Amino acid sequence: MSKSINVALIGNPNTGKTSIFNELTGLNQKVGNYPGITVEKKEGICKLSRGLRAHIIDLPGTYSLNTTSLDESVVVELLMNKNDKDFPEVVVLISDVENLKRNLLLYTQIKDLKIPVILAINMADRMLRKGIKIDVPQLEKDLDTRIALISARKKTGIDELKELMANYQTLSNQPVVDASRIAPDYFDRLKLAFPNEDLYKLWLVITQDTNFGEIDKKPLEEKSDFGTLSNAELKRLQHKETIVRYQFINNVLKQSYEVDLHAAKGLRATVDKILMHKVFGYLIFFLILLLIFQAIYDWSSYPMDFIDEQFAALGQWVKTTLPSGVFTDLIAEGILAGIAGIVIFIPQIAFLFFFIAILEESGYMSRVVFLMDRLMRPFGLSGKSIVPLISGAACAIPAIMATRNITNWKERLITILVTPFVTCSARLPVYLIIIALVIPAGTFLGFSYQALTLLLLYFVGFAAALLSAKILHHTLKLSNRQFFVMEMPSYKVPRIKDVLFAAVEKTKSFVYGAGKIILAIAIVLWFLGSNGYRQEFKNAEELVTERINTEGFSTQSQQYIDSQLAEVTTAERYTQLLQIQENAKQQEIASFKLEHSYIGVMGKFIEPMVQPLGYDWKIGIAVLTSFAAREVFVSTLSTIYSVGSEEEDTIKHRMAMEVNVGNNKPLFNFASGISLLLFYAFAMQCMSTLAIVKKETNSWKWPMMQLVGMTLFAYLVALLAYQILQ
């Protein structure tokens, strides 16, 4: 039976930790969340030697054990708790050959916890080009460890690292820095008060904002004979500790690490001057985003159309193959429709994270974050928020998932809560058809009124996101320590393997996580729209048939019949007339049943609430059903208006003819149209987004707050717009 050891991969962000994790584990890895929190947990299996394998945990990137975010605290919590099933027998600290000094701060802290540490220096293939020389034996001696020079790109040094991991028992677990030097008297008293506890562990517990493992602060607070320190004094000692550690690191590197500064200068400095320029930097970034979103739109449309067609064909096949009944309808219109609502997002999610991974792997994303930080600070956000916010223009779901790069919990939460304000692609079908109905033709400075209206809706959404972020920043009572540390990695050509791994894992995370919630809600919506308790629903076919026989088709259906017959030749006119009339009849039955279904009753119930916005019960139903997805608004109206096709021109024609019963004027006029546009600009109206917010925040509190807050705001703005414009 083979033995297994726990190995923790730890390192600063942008040191290539993920690349090394992928090289060690290959496909033998899985992604989940740590119990009770949403920080991503990556683990995999690596065979070291005959009879020995490593269970490798890829921990979140951190700069030190002085935690400032949730993901950093995960690292400290694991290293402090020997009773944790994942507590490592050995730590592999991944460092960047160009930023070794910065990386070694974390190394010295982990050594102080008396855990064996292997130092893996990544990107060793860049040493010659950057003029770096390392005396490895001397560095191993001074740091009291073993070192593996690695190039994840060239796949060198991996076998040497595996050998060191297999022989972890030969490694020293003694500290290299005496942290008690920062306050000898205080640490002496601390040792007397807690003789059986490790001093450095106690120090970490005292200086952090949370409890770790089996050690908590209560005994420390109760037993204060060692002396208590104020927060200001603790911060001063933390700063002093950092200075002491860097003094040690500087002395070590003087003996074993040499950089030819002339060789180190070159392309990176030149490119940084351009990409981080205070004017051109922003222009280049937005140009790159424009190209990315255009590519996402173009590339994802083909697989999304294919998925849509295949699920439609599958649903039709189920209906024609299986016996008619509730079970068949559940599969075709509930389960398959719910699965389609999950799968159809996959192309957009995969492509977006594919491009984000390229930007991250290349080293450019760090420059973007640094560049945008100053602009986002007044709104309570940081530079890391800009990528999710702009990504929301494609789809809020992957955009919210992209907030995982934000280390500060308050900033991440605010970004998650405001991202749905940004106009996503799902709003476009609603926008385009309403704009075409209510915005007149004409131009201003060469641009059409309709195009300018669409552009304005994008600006309004982004402005609402920033304004709400500022409000949340001042109202949310959460800790928001504004430490912004950003390591500027070297530029490199992204490894396609790592890019694909990132895209696939994040896509799987959406499908398996949010997908279950989406499917459940889709089935509920199907049930509400396919069932009813009233006699009108149960006897819909007889009632509609009788009405058609006595009163004829409705005005909308008759116009549909006439328009269809206009395209039929005289020879086929009678044969086609019967089929067209049957189609119109079935659509009227479907519309009648929907009106008297559970969701139709809900539409009638909310009609008094939507009438002040300029809507009737039919639009109310469309608003309700579009909670499944905003674009459902159009297809719902096509059924309600007895339209035999979901072609946009046909739907638009029927909507244009719809009359407000109260004043006998067109239902979709300028006032009601603007009201509807603003409602969809600000309302949540997307169960998929709520599902992913729940998953990312690990609570229903925030998505419910989001749903209620955005809906009320959208309602008030739409109400004000209609009352002013009518």
Segments forming the whole domain that contains residue 532: 517-668
695 part of a folded domain: no
pLDDT digits (tens, 9 = 90+) for 133-188: 899 999 999 999 999 999 888 888 999 999 999 999 999 989 999 888 888 888 88
pLDDT digits (tens, 9 = 90+) for 345-364: 678 778 877 887 888 778 78
pTM beyond 0.75: no
212 part of a folded domain: no
pLDDT digits (tens, 9 = 90+) for 501-545: 777 877 776 676 656 666 676 677 778 777 888 888 888 888 888
Please give the backbone phi and psi of residue 92, each rounded to the nearest 5 degrees, phi first: -105, 110
Domain end position, chosen among 668, 702, 719: 668
d(CA 32, CA 43): 9
d(CA 347, CA 339): 14
DSSP sequence for 46-106: EEEETTEEEEEEEPPP-S-SS--SHHHHHHHHHHH-TTSTT--SEEEEEEETTSHHHHHHH
DSSP sequence for 202-233: HHHHHHSSS-BTTB-HHHHHH--TT----HHH
Pairing, β 117-122 against β 146-149: parallel
Domain end position, chosen among 644, 668, 692: 668
Give pLDDT, residue 37.
Answer: 45
CATH code of the domain containing 108 = 3.40.50.300
Percent of the chain with pLDDT strictly greater than 90:
17
Give pLDDT, residue 643.
Answer: 40
Residue 6 β-bridge partners: 55
Q: Count of residues for the chain?
A: 726
Q: What would the two tokens of residue 367 be?
A: 């420059």
260 part of a folded domain: no
From the number of C-beta atoms within 10 Å of its C-beta (0-12, 13-18, 19+), residue 684 rates as buried
d(CA 303, CA 602): 35
Domain end position, chosen among 170, 201, 220: 170
pLDDT digits (tens, 9 = 90+) for 294-326: 676 567 778 877 887 888 788 788 888 888 777
- Examine the pLDDT at 374 and tell me if it is beyond 90: no
112 part of a folded domain: yes
d(CA 17, CA 34): 19
Residue in the block written with tokens 């190394």? 107
R_g (Cα) of the chain, nearest Å:
31
Give pLDDT, residue 641.
Answer: 57
Give pLDDT, residue 569.
Answer: 65
| Positions of E strands within 573-670 | 659-660, 665-666
Q: Chain-wide mean pLDDT for the chain?
A: 79
711 part of a folded domain: no
305 part of a folded domain: no
Categorize the per-residue pLDDT at 70 as very low, low, confident or very high, splitting at 50, 70 and 90.
low
Q: Which amino acid is residue 197, in one-letter code? A: E
CB atoms within 10 A of CB 303: 16
Looking at the 3D structure of the chain, how many domains does it have? 2
Alpha helices per DSSP H over 426-488: 428-438, 449-475
Give me the mean pLDDT over the 242-261 stretch. 88
571 part of a folded domain: yes
d(CA 379, CA 364): 24
CB atoms within 10 A of CB 102: 18
682 part of a folded domain: no
Give pLDDT, residue 677.
Answer: 92
